[in-house]
């Protein structure tokens, strides 16, 4: 099989840089707009002070909105990146042959991990008080008016040093395993032989165990603790499924775009069919987890649990209601109806439409997880949202395409390459 090297034109990489720049500009414009509009709404300091004294909350300003958006995109993009690594590992331990043509795409997705980890750390260190209620020190002082016995009970786990250690360990472990697997993959390209493949299987098996723990705990840490008092035993899986569908959609889109640009000659509609099945199946899986979480809380109706859905379905004058229904439509009804038939899963145009919709749908899903806890009723869709999304997309695409171009798109010495060429479903 012949090597295929992706060449990124200057124009394309400039376009990604332009996305980052435009994102920054839009963010700044958005900040000024939000600053002025909160000035109008606030009605002076008296009201804000009264509100703060009453609820123990601080007023929502552009700072909160900016950091919430940065955090939302951090979590969303680092999730897609780690899914690349996770799915590669799954292919190894499953001895999968069909996925050989998309292997390099999966590997390249995780290129964002180091930069994503740094962004995550920086945004947390600067914006922790805007994002996480539990970072308020006064909550843990017994005589303070803010003393919170529930959060004080969680302090052994939920304290800043341990949180930071966990964050570094999780992302560090992902980066390490990514580097280790990639080393085998490139070694296989250069030298051939089965040794690299067998070693990759062993590394993948260890990683999957590590990922089982780290993905769950990162979901609690990064997303669930925003609503510090609330907890759900299903939450980690729910976040994982959202990441997984988004990652699969990103992989499928990349495969289609590479194919349309004349690359990936081994890839045909049979491989796309399989990717389509994954997007279809895991969209249903996401819905299953969403509903499993929702129904038990709805049925039991315990105040400490149901408050999460109260906030989202009825809270803040129905501010988030449409989003809750929109995510169910975009992430469930849309993919299930459009990708149900075999023909749809084998057509690039249908897959493209569904993948874009699902990518946006899961971004909206994270929006719904992050915003009510940080911005309460003050969230919106404006220049800040668009700007941060563009900013992160630009960074992600830059490192992603660079890693894609750094090795042959077809793993030339993969033992299952021949099987992948003849893959037929």
Binding site for another protein (CB under 8 A): 291, 294-295, 298-299, 301, 340-342, 424
Q: 298: phi > 0 → left, psi -120 to 50 → alpha, else beta; which?
A: alpha
CA 250/CA 156 separation, integer angstroms: 38
Quote the longest CA-to-CA distance of the chain.
73
Nearer to another protein, 144 or 341 (CB): 341
The minimum distance between CB 279 and another protein, in angstroms, equals 18
Nearer to another protein, 179 or 298 (CB): 298
CA 312/CA 411 separation, integer angstroms: 46
Nearer to another protein, 262 or 299 (CB): 299
The minimum distance between CB 414 and another protein, in angstroms, equals 22
- Count helices and strands in the chain by DSSP H and E runs: 18, 0
Q: Scan for tokens 């990652």, then name that residue.
A: 247
Nearer to another protein, 10 or 299 (CB): 299
The minimum distance between CB 288 and another protein, in angstroms, equals 9
The minimum distance between CB 334 and another protein, in angstroms, equals 17
Q: Scan for tokens 């995510």, then name that residue.
A: 327
Nearer to another protein, 247 or 276 (CB): 276
CA 355/CA 360 separation, integer angstroms: 9
Nearer to another protein, 165 or 295 (CB): 295
Q: Do 348 and 272 form a contact (C-beta atoms < 8 A)? A: yes
Tokens of 238: 């729910």
Q: Do 385 and 371 form a contact (C-beta atoms < 8 A)? A: no
The minimum distance between CB 339 and another protein, in angstroms, equals 13
The minimum distance between CB 368 and another protein, in angstroms, equals 18
């Amino acid at each position: 099989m012949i090597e295929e090297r992706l060449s990124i034109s200057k124009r394309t990489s400039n376009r990604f840089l332009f996305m980052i720049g435009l994102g920054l500009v839009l963010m700044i414009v958005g900040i000024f707009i939000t600053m002025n509009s909160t000035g109008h709404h606030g009605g002076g300091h008296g009201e804000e002070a009264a509100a703060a004294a009453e609820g123990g909350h601080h007023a929502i300003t552009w700072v909160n909105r900016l950091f919430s958006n940065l955090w939302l995109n951090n979590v969303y993009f680092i999730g897609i990146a780690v899914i690349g690594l996770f799915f590669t590992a799954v292919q190894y331990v499953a001895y999968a042959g069909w996925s050989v043509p998309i292997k390099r795409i999966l590997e390249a997705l995780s290129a964002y991990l180091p930069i994503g980890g740094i962004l995550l750390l920086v945004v947390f260190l600067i914006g922790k008080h805007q994002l996480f209620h539990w970072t308020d020190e006064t909550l843990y002082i017994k005589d303070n008016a803010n003393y919170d016995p529930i959060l004080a009970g969680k302090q052994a786990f939920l304290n800043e040093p341990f949180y930071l250690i966990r964050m570094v360990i999780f992302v560090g472990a992902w980066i390490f395993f990514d580097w280790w697997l990639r080393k085998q993959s490139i070694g296989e390209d250069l030298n051939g032989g089965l040794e690299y493949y067998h070693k990759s299987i062993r590394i993948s098996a260890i990683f999957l165990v590590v990922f089982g723990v780290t993905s769950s705990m990162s979901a609690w840490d990064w997303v669930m603790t925003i609503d510090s008092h609330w907890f759900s035993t299903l939450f980690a899986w729910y976040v994982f499924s959202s990441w997984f569908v988004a990652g699969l959609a990103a992989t499928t889109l990349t495969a289609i775009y590479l194919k349309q640009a004349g690359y990936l000659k081994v890839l045909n509609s049979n491989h796309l069919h399989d990717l389509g099945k994954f997007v279809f199946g895991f969209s249903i899986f996401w819905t299953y987890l969403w509903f499993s979480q929702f129904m038990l809380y709805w049925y039991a109706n315990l105040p400490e649990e149901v408050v999460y859905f109260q906030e989202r379905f009825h809270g803040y004058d129905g501010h988030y209601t449409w989003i809750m229904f929109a995510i169910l439509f975009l992430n469930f009804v849309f993919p299930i109806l459009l990708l149900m038939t075999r023909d749809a899963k084998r057509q690039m145009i249908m897959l493209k439409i569904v993948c874009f919709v699902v990518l946006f749908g899961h971004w909206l899903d994270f929006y719904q997880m992050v915003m009510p806890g940080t911005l309460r009723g003050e969230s919106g869709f404006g220049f800040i949202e668009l700007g941060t999304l563009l900013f992160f997309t630009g960074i992600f695409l830059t490192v992603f395409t660079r890693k894609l171009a750094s090795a042959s798109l077809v793993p030339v010495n993969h033992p299952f390459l021949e099987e992948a060429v003849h893959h037929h479903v």
